Structure 1
């Protein structure tokens, strides 16, 4: 790999990389993100490599006339359309094949690559229409992919692919045309707000570090991402790691830091592997290390693996973990910008925040502010999951409405069900309901609604969801992840969980609802860290919006969604029962009896309400009462 000693060499390498891609007869980009790999994309990659290797001189029907390079098979990062994986993109056409299997590879190579034919059953279809090109699919067409622009479009494991997209041009710009204080001001002017949850102004944070008297400073990237269902940061680290690294380097130049750390949870082995590869390649070609491009600026980057503690997403707990101590928050002040990692001033932002930095430097603060609301500009990546037709990773301008996200991009509620609520912001967030579908998704608007963007998790729920169980689930997560340092969080969340478990078990009282309210308020006001202060938000939100469901559980002893096991009562309809005995044979506790060819019955005293009988019945004779 050529060493990039100055800006001129970088520009030449960029042009050569662009030319190499342009001259390819065909590029086959196979999603090698965690989701698609779990679905078998690794086998698909190997098979396509074998087919290309066995046919090196094959004529490609749709190759551009000027193309004289090879047919390339590349591992890309996450395309985002996880519901349809494994995914394969074929360039230069931009064809996207969905739900590809290893046995499809031969047909793809012979029919599509060689002959230019489209394999129709691999195309995405919606509302009777089929889409050949990725950019035409509604899921993608209605997004604004800036941070995720390269994910799925470049080889995630080679630095030249990133450079070909304009990568490291922002670093070049700051090193040779901007002073550190000008970089800080540009980020300040852009009003970039931290994408990790709190929405703190990034430029102001950097300025606080830059003005400290202590000259030893650090830049730390929070890649811990502990929220259930959230995988935005993981996808960036897997699919476009250099974008985040470049953002960290620009931050280091702006505040005068020479050392940086990326804190990644150990459950992200692929992200760690891609980051190690990216750092090694950047060091090899001279874009990381000492005297970068002969500019006098030096920066070294380290990876620290976390042990999966949710609390280590909090700044002071994260830095304590990097130092080798138990990850626990500390009392503030002093804040991280004053005394962070190893007691030195520290810039701490998450992956998505750093990934925004290069394009702000390249395109300018005013360009960035033209996207989304003035006080929350730019785009935001969301992990769209739950009862929605198109799940996956999306990116939209701040200010986009929930209705646009769920119905235009997500395709609506799964099985054409009815929307009930969306949990936004993970365990630290709250719920939004039908009247909120048209509010602006930005930091300030959501805060007024008692919710928060958080890291960007969006869990869509339909009318078959029990909101009391949702609150119990998130409180169970938060309670298990409490570091235990402060009493409000350690004891308060435990008491709240006990009450919620009593309620879903059918033993709750109306007094419990008042106690939940009081505990939630106390924890929010007195917990030590931000995670503790937001721990009760899911309960507060559901109590406010769905109090009638709580009352049904404690007064009527009823769960209308039939989610809570304690309230289930399985009934066999005599009119539908054929007397086949399949239900009795599948009952694990022998609660079902009867004679062959006569209706069977369930002993409700013995029944453990597992639902095995309902699943086994081929005639729809078993249902839950109510």
Structure 2
């Protein structure tokens, strides 16, 4: 596997006006796809090995293949652009710098699943991105790439950009669909799955921005080209977001299977004079890793084998000056605030995790509280309607596993050992 960067989606980010259709090009991949049989397009994506880039890693072509054909119902494509996982920042810069890759991918995907209506559900807070998407869609309509009889193929497609209202839960696909229909965003009980009864109770494909934006390059260059990158089971490239205590934070597009050590080498390492303490491989809802995991292959299987998840490839880097307990508390406060309240394990569990962690962080807890938070997390895991509850337990379990001594240190000194007012770090009281 090559460990060099593979700029595909990010290739034109540094060009002036990269977001315009004149710089992007004439949608050659969409024109090629619309000359193929829709099932052949689906097969090409299957052969490429593309897996969902939104976190779950489900095979994209297989997901498209679940859509029933000849059912007499309208089909829909919904692009999940509600990027809201703490630490994740790949879809928003992608839509800002290269929105036409997404629009072209939507055309190809809609044709493959026989959908004549598509939606981009984007976070309403990122107004600059919303405006850029509207401009890109308008340009595509003006060129005749959207609307009726696209490329003379007889295929019609209407594309709508929809702004969400800022709820983290709407990143969950069924809550997103409820929100798109005008209801309060709350996860649905599955089955039925969206492929059977999704938007307006019709067959629907919900895919992440990066997943759809990767499709034009697969059609344009061939499935073998894409499958030639990455690892045996995690093929292709992806955008890795490095943030936190790193010299050059940013987006690094590389083959799946690259390691954090290699990415850090390209990013100038951890900030000068410091060393890595812990990090997240896929955002705050994935179990944390430590400096012992720098050489873990960043693919779905490699990360999973070490007890975490690749997720959104949001690599948050924390050095030795960071308090693990405080960090986990901040994440937990976020999850407690963003719980939709539909199911009891998540609604009550995240609240009580926050209360106990506050006590622990102040040094007012006991060792028994560690058993309490892990017990609460155990009662949330696998018992909530959606993955928000499961994600909230990941920092709890992994931080206690790797940094139990740091939790205990809070009790010993009656506060946070990283608090300047305590004038102490480990053993310096």
Name 1:152's counterpart in structure 2: 14
Partner Cα separation in structure 2 for residue 154 and residue 351 of structure 1:
22
Name 1:308's counterpart in structure 2: 166
Task: Tell whether 2:293 aligns with 1:436.
Answer: yes
8 A contact 1:419–1:434 mirrored in 2: yes
Task: Choose which of 283, 302, 311 in structure 2 pairs with 1:426.
Answer: 283
Task: Tell whether 2:422 aligns with 1:569.
Answer: yes
Give the Å deviation of 1:556.
Answer: 4.2
Name 1:457's counterpart in structure 2: 314
Name 2:106's counterpart in structure 1: 248
- Give the structure, 1 or 2, with the largest relative contact order (CA under 8 Å, sep 6 or more): 2
Partner Cα separation in structure 2 for residue 145 and residue 521 of structure 1:
41
Task: Tell whether 2:328 aligns with 1:471.
Answer: yes
Name 1:21's counterpart in structure 2: none
8 A contact 1:479–1:497 mirrored in 2: yes
Task: Choose which of 287, 290, 304 in structure 1 pairs with 2:145.
Answer: 287
Task: Choose which of 22, 25, 28 in structure 2 pairs with 1:169.
Answer: 28
Aligned pairs (5 A) from 1:26-45: none
SS of residue matched to 2:284: helix
Name 2:223's counterpart in structure 1: 365
SS of residue matched to 1:182: helix
Partner Cα separation in structure 2 for residue 373 and residue 432 of structure 1:
21
Q: Give ranges in structure 1 of 5+ residues lacking alignment.
A: 1-140, 572-623
Give the Å deviation of 1:416.
Answer: 2.4
Give the Å deviation of 1:204.
Answer: 0.7
Aligned pairs (5 A) from 1:523-542: 523-542=380-399
8 A contact 1:143–1:409 mirrored in 2: no
Partner Cα separation in structure 2 for residue 259 and residue 175 of structure 1:
16
8 A contact 2:381–2:390 mirrored in 1: yes
Partner Cα separation in structure 2 for residue 147 and residue 541 of structure 1:
33
Partner Cα separation in structure 2 for residue 520 and residue 213 of structure 1:
42
Task: Choose which of 470, 482, 488 in structure 1 pairs with 2:339.
Answer: 482
SS of residue matched to 2:214: helix
Partner Cα separation in structure 2 for residue 490 and residue 434 of structure 1:
33
8 A contact 1:427–1:477 mirrored in 2: no
Give the Å deviation of 1:157.
Answer: 4.3
Give the Å deviation of 1:156.
Answer: 3.3
8 A contact 2:362–2:415 mirrored in 1: no
Give the Å deviation of 1:227.
Answer: 1.6
Partner Cα separation in structure 2 for residue 157 and residue 436 of structure 1:
37
With over 3 angstroms needed to count, the CA separation of the structure-2 counterparts of 1:555 and 1:570, relative to structure 1, is closer
Name 1:401's counterpart in structure 2: 259
CA-based RMSD: 1.7
8 A contact 1:381–1:396 mirrored in 2: yes
Give the Å deviation of 1:210.
Answer: 4.5
Give the Å deviation of 1:448.
Answer: 2.3
TM-score (norm 2): 0.95
Aligned pairs (5 A) from 1:64-103: none
8 A contact 1:156–1:274 mirrored in 2: no
Task: Tell whether 2:362 aligns with 1:509.
Answer: no
Give the Å deviation of 1:344.
Answer: 0.9
With over 3 angstroms needed to count, the CA separation of the structure-2 counterparts of 1:548 and 1:339, relative to structure 1, is same
SS of residue matched to 2:330: helix
8 A contact 2:80–2:206 mirrored in 1: yes
Partner Cα separation in structure 1 for residue 130 and residue 382 of structure 2:
37
Name 1:143's counterpart in structure 2: 5
Aligned pairs (5 A) from 1:253-402: 253-402=111-260
Partner Cα separation in structure 2 for residue 437 and residue 211 of structure 1:
46
Partner Cα separation in structure 1 for residue 49 and residue 423 of structure 2:
56
Give the Å deviation of 1:517.
Answer: 1.2
8 A contact 1:509–1:555 mirrored in 2: no
8 A contact 2:363–2:413 mirrored in 1: no
Higher CA-based Rg: 1
Partner Cα separation in structure 1 for residue 132 and residue 275 of structure 2:
40
Give the Å deviation of 1:569.
Answer: 2.8
